Structure 1
Amino acid sequence: MSVIFHSAVVALNSYAIWYDQNYVDLPFPVEEFAKMPWKARGIFLTFWCLVLQTVYFTIALINDIVGTNATAPKKPPLIRKIKDILFSLAFTIAIYVASAFWGLYLVNKDFIFPEDIELQFPSWVNHTMHTFIVPFILIELFISKRNYPSRTLGVSVALLFNLAYVCWLHGIYFYTGIWVYPFLNVFTWSMKVFFFACSSIIGISVYVLGEKLNSLSSLDIRVTYTNGSSKKH
């Protein structure tokens, strides 16, 4: 079952990335964007998330074949350790991206998905990037077992991922003079600082939510961490 599921997710995500790169052309506000690799998709957190999900499910598939899906193996192979740590990040980013995208879309879709871009974007690709990532990662949460990383390690990995993207976002702005997301153009610098700080707090909250849901999916209601310790919830 897990092999079929992981294979299907990897196939869909990979095809969406391939299709986007070969058949979708988006308008960009400045010429510098058009010169970026991957058709400038790397400027969007959505693309980072989709690549992350694809990498995670690929590793999960490899673990199905050469690793172990035991509930709490005493000496898990390296591929299982990588899978378990990466899940905590993949879950956090998937929930955050979907919530942020559709939340802003409902408030004012021009803030996040202007009509000139939406018209060029096939709906199935949009949903693969912004919608399906949530049910896929939730299904994975409940059909597979993992040793969650310690909260210090897991949160640190999530915050480093967040910091890397925020630095990248600002680097693009200082290079082109354009914010990737239109809503940032109407924010003052103090509002931007508040927004990124709140985003980090929300990200940490989503991480803890994933940890709690992981404990609920375990029959003994116990979280086993990669450092060998465990905690009953």
Structure 2
Amino acid sequence: MKIGTDMDSFTAHGFHDKHIKVEGFIWGVATKAMAIRIYLRILGYVVTLAIHISNIVYMRSFHQGDVMKDPKIRAYIGIQWRFITCWNFLFQMVYACLGLTCDVLTLVNSKNKRYELPKLFSQGRKTLFSAIVWPSTFVVATLFWPFYLYDKSLVFPDFIDKILTPLSNHVIHSFIVPVVLWEIMLQPLTEPRNHMKNALILFIYTVVYFIVLFYTAVEQRLWIYPIFEKADGTIYTPMLMVYSCVLTNIHYRTQWYVASYLWGQPITKERIVNTKKRIMSKLGYLRMLGYGVTLVMHIGNLVYVRMNMTEEALGDKRVRLFGETRHRYFTCWNFFLQMIYAVLGLSCEILLLRNAANKNYKLPKHLKGCRDTIFSALLWPVTLLVFTVFWTLFFYDRSLIFPDFIDKVLTPVSNHIMHTAIVPVVLWEILLQPRYEPKSHMKNIAHLIVYMLVYLSVLVYTYIEKGQWLYPVFKKIYGTVYFPILILIVTILLFMFYHLQWSISYLVWGKEKTKKEKQKKTR
């Protein structure tokens, strides 16, 4: 941050007249106004540090005596720094220290109009607030209090009252909001042209926390928040994670509307020209959110399943065989394909964002072609096939597709991630990424046929090698006419699902956008 830069923020918001040079008296008045803001920010940083540090000491004072005999309290204290609430107020304290350093340096060098802060400080301050402190603070407040008021036991069990008073509770869940509001009202915040860096940092922060959350559940056999314990084994666990990610993204975007309202942004010809591009880029951020959630969901589930394969579970020969051949299941092929596509899609979106300033930039032809082909030819039809066939057989007779012994290593949550959550993944993509129906479907159909032939070969090879079919349904119908009939039904379903995507694309994006848009632009 420069002295001059802070001064520019005054001139950009009503203190500038193109016919008047900011000199002498006017410069002095503006500098005093700027200094007042700095002093108020410093006051805010000091108060933030004082309250959080005092609250930590105050909470620690209860960690003694008879209260420590309660095993629940000991377990809670052992994982207290893994709560997102603690991460949040620690980041507020780090930001307060950084902001205090920046403002003190600015005041010390106020007589030097050309002085500017070290780039590491100025950029670090902006990034830390925008990418982590603001969204994290509002996520904590807006997730905690609704659950607390609905059912306190979901996020704040009664035993915590013994070591966390109502005052401390409000410090870490309520006071945190005025802290960031004070900052945004006193520190001009300008929306960056490219959100990629902030989005990446926020994504990493979210992923790391989810890893800590699941690691704690595996290590301690205890969920950090009771709501996850109640949702464990149901579809609500991944739904809660997705909801948290969406809420985080919403709060990140909100700060720019607040900043725009408080500080204003000059309307220029360039902004008007780029309005359409900026709106379309939001779809890119939403797609990136989808890719990130997909990767976190599937990688987290893989780790979770691996953790459940204990020596006790593997003592069952059927479970051991399942563990040895698990990567040959069609379901596993599908979610691996979803992960590969998510990485590919993330790479494409990052390239587009990095080259957003270049109006003529286009993705490399092979990269774009690979992305479109994987989704259209494989991911979409295969995902719908897995979902349809699995749940149809599961509800008819689960022993045909999902024998009881698998429950020892595959919880209901993992089951829903692999067989239910996969559908929202492809729907999210088709709703946010315009799809262009090819003039000829021959290439896509060829890819799909090869993919299915390779899997059929693996299926038969496993039967020859292990003497057992991967899916019990084949054991029951092998050697009967129903075996080729099932293969035929699967083939028909694949082709139906393949063609269904184009109808959905027409419905969402319109026929002109999905088939003729490129031809119109080139004329």
Q: TM-score, normalised by structure 2?
A: 0.39
Correspondence for 2:398 among 109, 112, 121: 109
Q: Aligned residue for 1:168?
A: 458
Q: Aligned residue for 2:420?
A: 131
Q: Is the 8 A contact 1:21 1:39 kept in 2?
A: no
Superposition pairs of residues 117-156 of structure 1, within 5 angstroms? 117-149=406-438, 150-156=440-446
Q: Aligned residue for 2:303?
A: 18
| Structure 1 position 172, deviation (Å) | 0.7
C-alpha distance in structure 2 between counterparts of 1:146 and 1:67, whole Å: 17
C-alpha distance in structure 1 between counterparts of 2:347 and 2:368, whole Å: 9
C-alpha distance in structure 1 between counterparts of 2:512 and 2:425, whole Å: 22
Bigger shift: residues 20-29 or 174-183: 20-29
Name the structure where helix makes up a greater proportion of residues.
2
Asked if 1:63 is matched to 2:354, the reply is no
Q: Aligned residue for 1:93?
A: 382
Q: Aligned residue for 2:487?
A: 196
| Structure 1 position 188, deviation (Å) | 3.7
| Structure 1 position 50, deviation (Å) | 0.8
Which one has a bigger Cα radius of gyration? Answer: 2
C-alpha distance in structure 1 between counterparts of 2:469 and 2:458, whole Å: 11
Question: CA-atom RMSD, angstroms?
Answer: 2.7
C-alpha distance in structure 2 between counterparts of 1:91 and 1:146, whole Å: 12
C-alpha distance in structure 2 between counterparts of 1:102 and 1:167, whole Å: 24
| Structure 1 position 56, deviation (Å) | 0.9
Correspondence for 1:216 among 507, 511, 519: 507
Q: Is the 8 A contact 2:385 2:497 kept in 1?
A: yes
Correspondence for 1:47 among 301, 323, 332: 332
Higher RCO structure (Cα 8 Å, ≥6 apart): 1
Of all paired residues, the percent bearing the same amino acid is: 23
C-alpha distance in structure 2 between counterparts of 1:121 and 1:127, whole Å: 10
| Structure 1 position 229, deviation (Å) | 7.9
Q: Is the 8 A contact 1:13 1:54 kept in 2?
A: yes
Kindly provide the CA deviation profile for residues 169-199 of structure 1, in whole angstroms up to 9, marking residues without a partner as x.
0111111211111111111433212211221
Counterpart AA for 2:343: T
| Structure 1 position 12, deviation (Å) | 1.1
Counterpart AA for 1:129: M
C-alpha distance in structure 1 between counterparts of 2:319 and 2:467, whole Å: 9
- The structure-2 alpha-carbon separation of the partners of 1:152 and 1:75, relative to structure 1 and needing over 3 Å to count, comes to farther
Asked if 1:79 is matched to 2:367, the reply is yes
Q: Is the 8 A contact 1:67 1:79 kept in 2?
A: no
C-alpha distance in structure 2 between counterparts of 1:217 and 1:82, whole Å: 23
Counterpart AA for 2:504: L
The residue matched to 2:331 in structure 1 has which SS? helix
Correspondence for 2:470 among 156, 180, 184: 180
C-alpha distance in structure 2 between counterparts of 1:211 and 1:21, whole Å: 37
Q: Unpaired runs of 5+ in structure 2? A: 1-285
Q: Is the 8 A contact 2:319 2:406 kept in 1?
A: no
Counterpart AA for 2:445: V
